[in-house]
Each structure stands twice: as C-alpha cells, then as structure tokens.
Amino acid sequence: MTAKKSSSRKKTSSKKAAAKKGVKKSAARRAAPKKSSTQRSDRPRRWPGLLRAGISVLIWTTVIFAGVIGWFAWDLPDPEAAIRTEQREPSITVVATDGTLLLEQGQLYGGAVSLSGVPEYLPRALIATEDRRFYDHPGVDPIGILRALIANIQAGGIAQGGSTLTQQLAKNLFLSRERTIRRKVQEALLAFWLEARYDKDTLLEIYLNRIYLGAGTFGVDAAARRYFGVPASQVSLWQSAVLAGLPKAPSALNPFRNPDGAAERGREVLQNMVEAGFLSQAEADSAAQSTVRTVSTDLAGRQTRWLAEWAVDRAAGLIGGLERDIVVETTLEPAVQRAAEQAAAEIGPDARGAGASEMAFVALRPDGAVAAMLGGYDRSSSAFNRAVHAKRQPGSVFKLFVYLAGFEAGITPDTEIDDRIAPIEGWSPRNAGAGNRGIVTLREGVARSINTVAVAVSESVGRQRVIDMARRLGVTAEMTPDPSIALGVTEVTPLELAGAYATLSSGGSSATPYVIRRISDSADGTILYQRSNARTVELLSPEVVEMTDDIFGAGVAWGTGRAAQLDGYPARGKTGTTQDYRDAWFAGYTDHLTAVVWMGNDNGTPTDSVYGGLYPAQFWQRFMTQALSAEPGLSLRTSP
C-alpha cells in the first residue's frame, strides 16, 4: 500500500516537473524574438547591399562617362553650321579666248550632285573602296575596326584604316588633320550625330560633294571637270574608279602629277568593286587602263601666268572683290602668245648673253585687247610682271608724243628742221653716232632718231603740249615740262606705251589696254561683268595718223628700225635706247597688231651695247612674222 502511494507520488511529481519544464520552454519561446522569412540564412541578407553598390557604381560610371564625353565634346564645332557653310577660298578659273585654261586659283568646287545625277558606278566605287558596310553600321564600324586591326598586325604597320565614310565626312567637314586620341573620339561622336541627323543616301551625297580629291578640287564634279573636262554626270567607269581612289592620298595620286600611280589605284578600285559584287571580273578588266588621260591644263607652261594673274587682279576691281567662284574670260589669244614665246626663245639667249638679263613684251589688238604678254623671260624664276608694273625710261620711243603734238600744231613730215640747236636753259642735247646733220626733214630726223630734231619740235610746239598728248594717250606717270621731256626721261610701263601706239593701229581711236572680256559665276553662269562694245573715242585725226604712219614707216624701211621689217607687209615703229644702254626698246604696229618690247636689267645697270634697233627690233620682227602669218586673209611672206 505504502509502495503504491510512493509510486503514485513519484509519477505526480514527474508530471509536475514536466509541466513546469514545458511552461519554462513556452515562456522562453514567447520571450525569444521571431525570425522573419528573409532572415532564414546569411546569403539572402547580402542582396540589399549588393544592389545598392551596383546602383552606385552605375551612377558614378554614367557620371564619369558623361564627363569624359563632355570633355571631348565641349569644343566641337556646330555641325549644322558647318554643313550649311563652306569656309573656303573662292575658286577663280582664267581662260583664253578659245577657252584654253590659263590659271586655276583657290579651292575648286563643282556643281552639287545627287545620287540620281551621277552614274551608279561612281558611288559604288567609293563604297567598295572606302566603306563596304556603309549601309549597315551606325557611323562607326566595330567589324571594320577589328578587320583593320588584324590586317595592320599582320602587316607590321598601318595597312588599313578603320574609318567609315561617315567618319571621313566628319573629319573633313568639322575637324583638323591632327592625329590624336581626342580627335578620333570627336570624329566618332560627330559620325554618330551625322547618322542620327541624316539618312544614308544624304550622307553619301554630302560626301560626294565635299570630299577633297586633289589639285585644289572639292567634290566629284569639280574633280571630274578638272581632271577629265567633263561633269560628274558624264564620267566613265574607269574615270569613276580613278576618282574613288583619290581620297586615300589626293595629293600623291593627283593624276596630273602621278598618272601612273593614279591608274594603279584605279585598278585596285575596280577589283574592290568586283569583290563587293558591283562588277564582274570581265567588266573590271575591260574598264582598266594603264594610265590616266587628263585634259590639258596650260597652253604654254607657266609663261601665261603673268597675264592670268594680272587678269585676276583686274577682275577683283571690276566686280568689287573676289567672294564667289568665277570664270574670267581673257583676251589672250593662244596663237599670238605662242608667237611671243617663240620669239623669246630665239632672241632671248643672245640678248641675255649681251647683258640684258630681262625683258618685257605686250601685244595689243587695235581696240586695246591684250593678245599676248610676257612679264620676263621665265615665269618660274620671276613672278614680277615687267610688262605691267616695270617703270623704265623709254628713250626715243617717247618721241611719239612729241611728233603727234607737232603734227597737230601744223608740222608735217616734210618740214625742215635744223638739228643744230643752242643750249636750252643750260642743257645741251646730244645725238648718238654722227652728231649733227644740219637741216633735215622731220621724216629723216625721226627715221634716224636724231635727238636734237625731237627737242627742236618740242620747243617749237611747247613742252606742255607734249605732256598733254602723252596724257591723252594714256601715260599716267608724273611729268615735268623740262627741256629733256622730248627724249623720254619720264619712266613709263611697256603696257602704257603699247596702248599709246595702238591708237595709231586703230586709226586714231582710243585703244586703252584691257584683258578681260567677261566674268561669270562658275556655278550658274550668271554674267557678273561684260565688256561693252561702246563707241571708241577719236583721239587723233586721220591726217595726224597718216603723217605718223609716214615717219614711223620710214624708221622701219630705212632707219634705225630696219631689223623689224616684215616681208610683204607694212610695218611702222620706233626704236629707243637710254643712256649707257640701260634700256632698249622697240614699239611698232601694223593694221592688226601693236607690240612693244623692252630689254634691260631690273636694277638699271648698263647692258653690253644692247640698243633698240638690235635685239628688241629682231624680237618684234620674229613675233610679228609668226603672229600675222596665222591671221585669216593675210598672205604674209616669211624670210627664208
């Protein structure tokens, strides 16, 4: 009994202990904080920090990238303005009377072309050579860059470039030529802008119109006209290949300078077109040529540049500046110019050997049109145009104005004059050679270039009348009424003298020298200047002209100008030689042409006895013989 109770009490106490223990555990559970579902492991607890770090890195990367891009872009030009505005020198094209090119100056732009206005093989040649993936990339071509990188590594140097057509356009339109990382990044930024702003065809048209292609030409139309004499709409497949090959090295591959190199590059372009699927191999082989045939660029080397450059100066004054592309049509006649250059080649060596190191020449038509001009012996060694700008003492050539004034005052070729004159205001004129002859006719005094006869006439009619006559016929130099005015001590230019003598060739009408017939806008053909056919002014009476023809005809027939005689054609002229043989002149005219020749030294030093009746008269005769032989309707005999 006692044992059962004891056992019962143990069970009761065990239950109580267990219950108490359970109560404690329950209390402990109630006291402990509950775990959230996101805190069930250590790994999930790291995600918020990583997310915050990632967002922070992204933000800072964006900020840094934007800052770098901003640093590269802060000094970029305004692309829209650069597209609209062409910052360049105006182009000036100077041509002869027959259209022969004399000079091209400045940067040459042709007419704007569209893709539909040129043969399809022209843009295809560019795409095949410069950027075959042009229609597939957004302005920068990673595939092209990778391909170029591999090719350059294999070649051990720069064998290919990775620039797209759009990048080239960005570089040429907006950026300098420097090779820096900054410029390359800017080039890429501008390429992306261009691609976003314009469609592919428009970009290709801009490229065709603005790319530099050598010889001062910008755009395919200017280059086609410059090299081949045709607009871009008429270029052949071969010509297109040559043009497409030029962007690689426009100066080195210039067809004028390197026709064989340009041809080799053209053949490469044709092969590129085959590889791009634009041509068959048979078509490429048929089009390929061994060299590049270009149009003639200059009728007689550099010798025409004196006249062409003078024409450019005159054009600026006629149209109020050179601010647009123009074509200047001059009065230069190629056949007459060739005659002048041939005379210089034949007579020049002897004259230079005698100490006359330089010369000047100008030929005028009766209305004053400059048909030919030489500013010296060699334009490549001296750009100074002596025909227009050199002022030298004319010597006896100036006597023209003395005798014209005399004729208007009543003197005739048969008037007798005593060449033994007394000193005038303490000055005694001297004659070359035989001294005084006594009483001679004016005709003989002129033919034999007797100085005292000219002075006697000047004193008889009045020195001021001589000066007034010179002014009337175009002499602009300052002149003082000294006794020596009759002997040509006033410095004048060959051009001024030619204009005065051309008045006789025109029968007494004004013959002011001019070199420009027309100036037009090269883009649309608008006439900016046209020389009018206004009535000329009569400066000399027919009677005065007839008497002058008489005395100057005697000078060539049997006087000091005998070396200028023309077989079968009347010639009239006057020799001139200054003190110590410093200047030697011949001024002469026919019914069709007037020409003036000067020989001497730029520094005014004496020559070795070069006088007007020697090399200048010979030069005039050689020139006039050839020039008049080419005149229609003339039967000029030439000496054997």
Residues with Cβ < 8 Å from 581, sequence gap 6 or more? 606, 607, 608, 609, 610, 611
The confidence band for 167, taking pLDDT boundaries of 50, 70 and 90, is confident
Reply yes or no on whether 491 is catalytic: no
Question: What would the pLDDT profile of 555-571 be if each residue is shown by its tens digit?
Answer: 999 999 999 999 989 99
Rounded-to-integer distance, Cα 189 and Cα 177, Å: 16
For residue 164, give the nearest of 203, 198, 202 by alpha carbon: 203
**CA 271 → CA 121, 284, 546, distances in Å?**
13, 7, 73
Confidence at residue 5, expressed as pLDDT on a 0 to 100 scale: 44
213-245 pLDDT, tens digit each: 988 888 999 899 889 989 999 999 999 999 999
Which of 39-48, 293-302, 463-472 has the largest mean confidence? 463-472
Whether residue 396 lies in the annotated active site: yes
218, 207 Cβ separation under 8 angstroms:
no
Q: What is the pLDDT of residue 150?
A: 64
What local confidence, expressed as pLDDT, does residue 603 receive?
95
Average pLDDT over residues 574-590: 97
* 80 half-sphere exposure, CB direction, 13 A CA radius: 2
What CA–CA distances, in Å, run from 580 to 450, 453, 597, 604, 607?
A: 17, 21, 18, 10, 8
**CA 398 from centroid of its chain's CA atoms:** 38
List, for residues 269-278, the tens digit of each pLDDT value: 999 999 999 9
Among 13-22, 57-66, 92-101, 250-259, the range scoring the smallest mean pLDDT is 13-22
Instruction: Provide the CA 582 distance to its chain's centre, in angstroms.
Output: 36
- Can you give the pLDDT at residue 54? 66
State the pLDDT at residue 62. 59
Instruction: Please state, in angstroms and rounded to a whole number, the distance separating the CA atoms of residues 173 and 210.
Output: 8
| Structural contact between residues 404 and 427, judged by C-beta atoms closer than 8 angstroms | no
pLDDT reading at 114 higher than 50: yes
Distance CA 584, CA 563 (A): 14
**Pair 405, 469: CB distance under 8 Å:** yes
The winner for highest mean pLDDT among 29-33, 99-103, 416-420, 619-623 is 619-623
Q: Quote the pLDDT of residue 638.
A: 44
Query: pLDDT, tens digit, for every residue of 131-154?
Result: 888 888 877 777 766 665 565 455
Residue 505 or 170, more confident:
505
The pLDDT assigned to 145 comes to: 62
pLDDT digits (tens, 9 = 90+) for 6-65: 444 444 455 444 444 444 444 444 444 444 444 444 455 566 666 666 666 666 565 555
DSSP 514: B
Per annotation, catalytic residue among 91, 396, 449, 509: 396
pLDDT more than 90, % of the chain: 58
**pLDDT computed for residue 197 by the predictor:** 81
| Domains, the chain, ordered by start | 118-287 (1.10.3810.10), 395-490 (3.40.710.10)
Strands 217-218 and 108-109: parallel
Taking residues 114-133, report their average pLDDT.
93
Output the pLDDT for position 155.
Answer: 54
Look at residue 457 in the predicted model and tell me its pLDDT: 97
Asked if residue 582 lies in contact with residue 604, where contact means CB atoms within 8 angstroms, the answer is yes
First to last CA, the chain: 179
Calculate mean pLDDT across residues 616-624: 98
C-alpha distances (whole Å) from 183 to each of 72, 128, 162 are 8, 26, 15
Residues in the chain: 640
Cα–Cα distance between 621 and 625 in angstroms, integer?
6
User: What's the burial of 616, exposed, middle or buried (CB within 10 Å: 0-12/13-18/19+)?
Assistant: buried
Q: What sign does the dihedral 44-48-54-55 (CA atoms) show? A: positive
Cβ–Cβ < 8 Å for 396, 492: no
Helix (H) or strand (E) holding 602: none
Task: Report the distance separating Cα 128 and Cα 195, nearest Å.
Answer: 19
Please provide the DSSP assignment of 270-319 as one string. HHHHHHTTSS-HHHHHHH--SS-------SBTBTTHHHHHHHHHHHHHHH
pLDDT band at 210 (very low <50, low <70, confident <90, very high): confident
In this predicted structure, what is the pLDDT of residue 548? 98
Catalytic residue selected from 104, 130, 205, 309: 130
Question: 119 and 125 in contact (C-beta within 8 Å)?
Answer: no
